[in-house]
Amino acid sequence: MLELLILLTGCFSWQPLLSRVTIAPESITPNADGITDVTRISYNLSRSANLSIYLVDNAGQRYYFRQNRRRSAGAYQVDFSGVINGSMLPDDNYQWVVEAVAVTVTDDGESLTGETDQEQGSLIIENADTQKPELQGFSVYPKRFTPNQDGIDDRVTINYSLTKEAEVQIYLIAPDNETDNETRYPIAEVEREVEPGQPGFHTYDYEGGVDFGADPPPDGDYTVHAEAVDNVGNRTIITDTLTIVEGGVPRADIVSANVDFYNPKTNTKVVPLGQTLAFTLTVENFGSVPIRTTGPSSGEHYLSHENFNTKEFYESSGAWRVGIDYEGNPSYPYPYRWAVGNLDELEQREIYGETFYYLMPGERAMVIGSIEILDVPAQRDRVNFWAGLIHENVRIDVFNDHVDPQPIAIGF
Ligand SMILES: [Ca+2]
Ligand SMILES: [Ca+2]
């Protein structure tokens, strides 16, 4: 019994490290027509080993498909499509080699035994599609991006022309990757006439997620990574840079939802025709990004038949303004509008040759304004007036709409 056991153990120890190595078929035509595009490599390991699979061309050049990959004992199969490191090998009559170097695992760790086993054979590659997909004219604009809905550099456009059918992925890679788990932010393609993956012109419109109420990736310098992989596995990678500055969802409100309406002459809420309705309120930027505003400045006086358009301070997409509206207004909402503060006291920035005004994060600004009531706004004695904080062409938050409505006695 003891002898038999020794005999069996002896048998196992003589089992070859590498066995049953096959490659089938021995000729491939990797052109994505579905016919002999790939070959299957099979092998068996009797013990733990570092495994390599490589091809050698007629000139003696080696192409590693697998190099020193740790494998435990067992049977393995892997498909090979002619692509190595994202590039299709050209047509040739190759020698394939499967090579194993045994590894001994001890209490102290692992070490190579030096025991090497190798098998080889022939693989013909014909009609290989070696043409890589190209992202011609790849561009990222602007390179400095402020995703904060102020209407300036809020979006990044990425364009390219794809030269052949391929799956394309574009994403941002976060700066300062200290771990292998890099943070990726995918960028979605805008669907146009040319479908994603098809040859032709492609465009991407990225706003950092802010338009959907999400916080954009943190401020910093990002890598824009674009990768195209065609049907046979040819891969092209292009990278560019993108800097995110002052990104975030803008947040502001009218403090305590409180509006002080009054007739400056009498300090009452009675405003007969020909007199003036004034108001005071405070706007707070309680978000993490500056909010942009536009004139007229706090303090501006309106006649009741005027509006922000007649004063030539038109809507400015992304700007925040305080507006006053009233019951029975026959026109568009909030015809009387003011900047969120005194323009001279707000932060001024020169951008693209223009001056823009900002209320900075954490800051508050008082807004005052007045409307001389020259016409009857409604056929009634008392008319409700209220305030709003408008993010022009973006939204009016529910809590910033119809704020603090109050009946004003017009004396009709
Ligand atoms: Ca084929
Ligand atoms: Ca911006």
Q: What is the pLDDT of residues 370-410, one digit of tens each?
A: 999 998 766 778 999 999 999 999 999 999 999 999 999 98
- Whether residue 239 lies inside any domain: the answer is yes
The CA 399 to ligand 2 mean position distance, Å, reads 23
pLDDT of residue 329: 92
Q: What pLDDT was estimated at residue 282?
A: 98
Q: What pLDDT is stored for residue 378 in this prediction?
A: 67
Distance from Cα 210 to the centre of ligand 2, integer Å = 10
Span 23-44, average pLDDT: 97
Residue 220 lies in a domain: yes
Residue 270 inside a domain? The answer is: yes
Rounded CA gap, 401 and 128, in Å? 64
Note the pLDDT tens digit of each residue in 48-96.
999 999 999 999 999 999 999 999 999 999 999 999 999 999 999 999 9
Under the banding of pLDDT at 50, 70 and 90, the label for residue 9 is very low
Edge to edge, the sheet with strand 156-162 lists 135-141, 156-162, 200-206, 189-190
| pLDDT of 109 higher than 80 | no
Number of domains in the chain: 3
Contacts of 234 (CB under 8 A, 6+ apart): 83, 86, 87, 88, 129, 130, 131, 132, 133, 166
The Å distance, Cα 29 to ligand 1 centre, comes to 4
- Ligand found nearest the CA of 32: 1
Q: In this structure, what CATH number is given to the domain that contains residue 144?
A: 2.60.40.2550
Q: Are residues 379 and 270 in the same domain?
A: yes
Q: Average of pLDDT values for 225-235?
A: 97
The whole-number pLDDT of residue 13 equals 55
Structure tokens given for 80: 């090979």
Q: How far is the CA of 402 from the centre of ligand 2 (A)?
A: 27
For residues 262 and 400, state if they share a domain. Answer: yes
Domain assignment present for 29: yes
Q: Which of 244, 261, 295 is the last residue of a domain?
A: 244
Q: Which ligand is nearest to the CA of 33?
A: 1
Q: Which of 85, 104, 125 is the last residue of a domain?
A: 125
C-alpha 247 – ligand 2 centre gap (Å) = 8
Rounded mean pLDDT of 154-172?
A: 97
Radius of gyration of the chain (CA): 35
pLDDT digits (tens, 9 = 90+) for 315-365: 999 999 999 999 989 889 999 999 999 999 999 999 999 999 999 999 999
Q: State the residue range of the domain holding 403.
A: 252-409
Q: Is residue 4 included in any domain, yes or no? A: no
Per residue in 119-151, pLDDT tens? 999 999 999 999 999 999 999 999 999 999 999
Residues 308 and 355 in one domain: yes
Q: Which residues are CB-neighbours of 230 under 8 A, at least 6 positions away?
A: 32, 129, 131, 132, 133, 164, 165, 166, 167
DSSP string, 286-341: -SSS-EEE-SSPTT-EEETT--TTTTT----TT-EEEEEEETT--SSS--EEEESS
Query: Is there a single domain that holds both residue 109 and residue 150?
Result: no
| Bond before 296 cis per omega within 30 degrees | yes
264 and 403 belong to one structural domain: yes
Kindly state whether residues 239 and 258 are assigned to the same domain: no
Cα of 150 vs centre of ligand 2, distance in Å, is 5
Q: How far is the CA of 155 from the centre of ligand 2 (A)?
A: 8
Ligand of minimum distance to the alpha carbon of 30: 1
